[in-house]
Amino acid sequence: MKIVKKTLNYIATTLLAILLLFMVFMVISSKASPEGPNILGYQLKTVLSGSMEPGIKTGSIIAVEPLDNVNTIKKGDVITYKEEDYLVTHRVTEVVSNEGQTLFRTKGDNNDAEDLNPVMAENVVAQYTGFTVPYVGYFIEYAKSKTGSALLLLIPGLLLLGYSGFTIWQVISSIETPSRKEEESSEPTKS
């Protein structure tokens, strides 16, 4: 039974520590990088609209791979590009070469019509890798706020601290119990 308790304590402590480290990573990476968190060379982007549903749901995070050469993009690929002050992720419906310049016609999978303006090659930022995690984007956007940053660091830290206190209390209780039994057994008994 002691081995099971020790193993469960170890697992709980490890999971809480990993949670805290993950939260620290998410908060720091979402604050430090204007492009969003970067993992193993892939950028994580939050999808804020439903234009690519049902494949990419609103509030999802997607992994995109930064592009050095836009000549590899073909019809059917999903690209992320700059449009004014924000990023858009849509599917390429046509690659157009016009006087030595490459343009991409795009459309959201959930939209009825193609986007009005073709995308210039220099505005293409990345290509979608096919990796999507639904609803986690809401979490990342929340982590960017001051309140979100504070809570996402504070809550796991308090959980880890509380669990450590509980573990210490259990150890102290188990030490006190045998010493009380020893005192009781060493007292003379009246017969």
Query: Which residues are the active-site residues?
Result: 49
> What count of residues does the chain have?
191
DSSP 46: E
Which residues 6+ apart lie within 8 Å of 161 measured at CB?
none
- Cis (ω within 30 of 0) for the bond into 54? yes
Instruction: Return the structure tokens found at 191.
Output: 């017969």
Instruction: Return the structure tokens found at 41.
Output: 């060379």
DSSP 179: H
State whether the Cα torsion 68-71-77-81 is positive or negative: positive
Which residues 6+ apart lie within 8 Å of 96 measured at CB?
102, 103, 104, 105, 118
The letter for the amino acid at 145 is: S
